[in-house]
Amino acid sequence: MKKLNNKIVFITGGLSGIGYACATAVAEMGAKVVIADLASDKVDEIMNTIQISSPESIFVACNVSNASELSHAIDTVVEKFGSLDIALNNAGIGGEPNKTGDMTAEQWLKVININLNGVFYSMKYELLQMQKQRKGVIVNMASILGKVGFSGSGHYVAAKHGVIGLTKVAAMEYASDGIRINAICPGFIQTPLLSKAGISDHTEVLAQIVNLHPMKRLGKAEEIAQAFIFLASDDSSFVTGTALDVDGGYLTQ
Ligand code: NAP
């Protein structure tokens, strides 16, 4: 029997990077995956790949910064599969870098709306369903920058600190309902997010970032997927409210 056989797994931002690695990993472990992401012309190609291991997996177009789209996405999961076992709230953006005093309200709100409000809306509708079931697992994708600062990224750092705070509160509130809620704090991971932020193409900046990790390398999305599988499965049955660092030692310094 595969570890996540027939589990219904909802993943926001599952078309790319860490979310995609998590989706393919759980599909290979027997889960039925619902990817919620922005509509894109790569949907068919990606879903075809996931459906090789998990034919019933589906895509739902959803902008996580819009509460009603999240409500609709969770309704779709329950209509199609009857329950929601595991949710990974992962969709996120890096945001435009700027010093706090120079940051525009637009730059600030764009990141907060997706990276923090998006996690709140996701949790809200996931929890309403999981409470009815009296079981479920939620994993929120935070960051090392949910625990320490990073110059020029006030919006991102504030959002990720908020995600960890919300994870702790909800874990306390729902522990007696059989719902476990944890976060993952990746170090810098080689995904399209780094190219979108201009980091991958900037050799000097990339080298500085690599150097901040005692392991002297970036992480791989597949390494985050392994942490997700641990937190999503019964292997972590007594773990709730934690924020697990998967960071090549970044936070030990
Ligand atoms: P990624 O490759 O850019 O993937 C993020 C996915 O989320 C993309 O498919 C993106 O769609 C989608 N997305 C963006 N805005 C959305 C919205 N409003 N609604 C729904 N989906 C949306 O990034 P990643 O590196 O895998 O990041 C995943 C998560 O890990 C994020 O929360 C990020 O903050 C966190 N994280 C990443 C790193 C890292 O170094 N990569 C480190 C720590 C934490 P588009 O491609 O269409 O924008």
Enter the tokens of residue 12: 């926001």
Question: Nearest Cα to 8, choosing from 135, 100, 123?
Answer: 135
- Are the C-beta atoms of residues 35 and 26 closer than 8 Å to each other? no
- pLDDT band for 201, please (50, 70, 90 cuts): confident
Measured by CA distance, the residue closest to atom 33 of ligand 1 is 92
Sign of the alpha-carbon torsion through 11, 83, 245, 165: positive
**Is the minimum distance from the CB of 236 to ligand 1 under 6 angstroms?**
no
Candidate from 10, 37, 68 with most ligand 1 atoms within 8 A of CB, to mutate: 37
Q: Where in the sequence numbering do the catalytic residues fall?
A: 156
- Are the C-beta atoms of residues 136 and 84 closer than 8 Å to each other? yes
**Is the minimum distance from the CB of 19 to ligand 1 under 6 angstroms?**
yes
Average pLDDT over every residue of 17-39:
98
Enter the tokens of residue 32: 């039925």
**Is the minimum distance from the CB of 153 to ligand 1 under 6 angstroms?**
no
Pairing label, strands 58-61, 32-37: parallel
Measured by CA distance, the residue closest to atom 36 of ligand 1 is 143
DSSP state of 112: I
**Is the minimum distance from the CB of 93 to ligand 1 under 6 angstroms?**
yes
DSSP result, 6-49: T-EEEEETTTSHHHHHHHHHHHHTT-EEEEEE---TTHHHHHHH
- Are the C-beta atoms of residues 183 and 141 closer than 8 Å to each other? yes
**Is the minimum distance from the CB of 73 to ligand 1 under 6 angstroms?**
no
Percent of the chain beyond pLDDT 70? 100
| C-alpha to C-alpha distance for 198 and 130, rounded to whole angstroms | 39
Give me ligand 1 centre to Cα 17, in Å. 7
- Are the C-beta atoms of residues 122 and 87 closer than 8 Å to each other? yes
Average pLDDT, the chain: 97
- pLDDT band for 191, please (50, 70, 90 cuts): very high
Residue type present at position 129 = Q
If phi > 0 it is left, if psi is from -120 to 50 it is alpha, else beta; for residue 82 that is: left
Enter the tokens of residue 228: 């997700």
Candidate from 15, 18, 112 with most ligand 1 atoms within 8 A of CB, to mutate: 18
Residue-level pLDDT at 199: 86
Asked whether residue 182 carries a pLDDT value surpassing 90, the answer given is: yes
pLDDT tens digits for range 37-89: 999 999 999 999 999 999 999 999 999 999 999 999 999 999 999 999 999 99
Give me ligand 1 centre to Cα 12, in Å. 9
Asked whether residue 24 carries a pLDDT value surpassing 90, the answer given is: yes
